[in-house]
Amino acid sequence: MKLGFIGLGAMGLPLAGHLLKAGHALAVWSRRPEASASLLAAGARGYASPAEVARHAEIVFTMVTGSEDVAAVVLGEEGLIRGGRSGNGQFSTLVDMSTIAPEMARQIATRLGELGIRMLDAPVSGGVTAAANATLSIMVGGPAETLAQVRPLFDLLGKTIVHVGENGAGQVAKACNQMVMVAAIQACAEAMHLAAASAVDPLKVQLALLGGAAGSRVLEVFGVRMVNRDFAAGVEARLHHKDFGILLNEAHRLACPLPIAALVGQQLNALMGHGWGRDDSASLLRVAEVGSARQ
């Protein structure tokens, strides 16, 4: 198939590579030319704008940072929509794998639909390792018939593909995922902090918890980072901060109380305030420590 990919960061680059290795023609655009160098060397074609990508691809994947970024890439002056069917392009389906506000996903889908272009919002969970190994969980919102067309491509990228509902539903599922996961990171931070404050070895506490009902992937991955005080970014905390802004705004819009998520959101605010946004979210441990030191 003739595919496009925009958003060649830590997650997008390996996903684009999987599509290219599977034999699909791949058109790419990147704000930073160096980001696409390895794909171009492997046979992808680079273009000067998203609109140009749309003129050479039937299905375009996007994986950029936030709602405004997706809107600019799709609807901007040089956006995909400018090179769609009305621009003599081939672009017929958008697959947005970014994490954005559900309402933004719905608005973009409606705008594209007016031009006969279909959209799936398909955010993912699993992180960089799962992206590299093509084992992501993909949460899909949009028409079932569009998913049926794209599913063979999703099978190249992920292990779990769930059709959650109509456009925007994939983003709601991702918000729920982030809420559960980051709350668990916060719980791990507090557990490791309590262990250290009690003069008990946090590593031994973590190992004990992993063997019981508290055991989880979050405790395994983030717990060991906290024990080792390894705050180099696996996932930059600023992205979780952005995701919590999305989910708390959605909760506010729906008058849906989320008291635990609100508290975790405040801890992420504190983390950002200390300048740790580009460090790992395991830095929530440092937030707990700073709060304790001030008492």
114 & 189 share domain: no
Task: Decide the pairing of beta strands 25-29 and 118-121.
Answer: unpaired
Contacts of 283 (CB under 8 A, 6+ apart): 231, 237, 271, 274, 276
Domain count, the chain: 2
- Among the ranges given (73-82, 85-94, 131-140, 189-198), the one the predictor scored with the smallest mean pLDDT: 85-94
136 & 190 share domain: no
150 & 44 share domain: yes
Segment 60-80 shows an average pLDDT of: 96
pLDDT value at residue 67: 95
56 & 87 share domain: yes
When pLDDT is cut at 50, 70 and 90, the band that residue 33 belongs to is: confident
pLDDT value at residue 86: 56
Domain boundary among 150, 166, 182: 166
How high does pLDDT run on average in the chain?
95
91 & 124 share domain: yes
150 & 206 share domain: no
When pLDDT is cut at 50, 70 and 90, the band that residue 109 belongs to is: very high
- pTM metric for this prediction: 0.93
Taking each helix axis from N to C end, the angle separating 169-197 and 237-254, rounded to the nearest 10 degrees, works out to 120
Residues in the chain: 295
Q: Tokens standing for 117?
A: 């272009």
pLDDT value at residue 90: 83
Report CA dihedral (173, 234, 41, 48) to the nearest 10 degrees. 60
When pLDDT is cut at 50, 70 and 90, the band that residue 161 belongs to is: very high
pLDDT value at residue 293: 66
Domain boundary among 166, 201, 216: 166
When pLDDT is cut at 50, 70 and 90, the band that residue 234 belongs to is: confident
162 & 177 share domain: no
Domain enclosing residue 209, as ranges = 173-293
Which residues are designated catalytic? 174
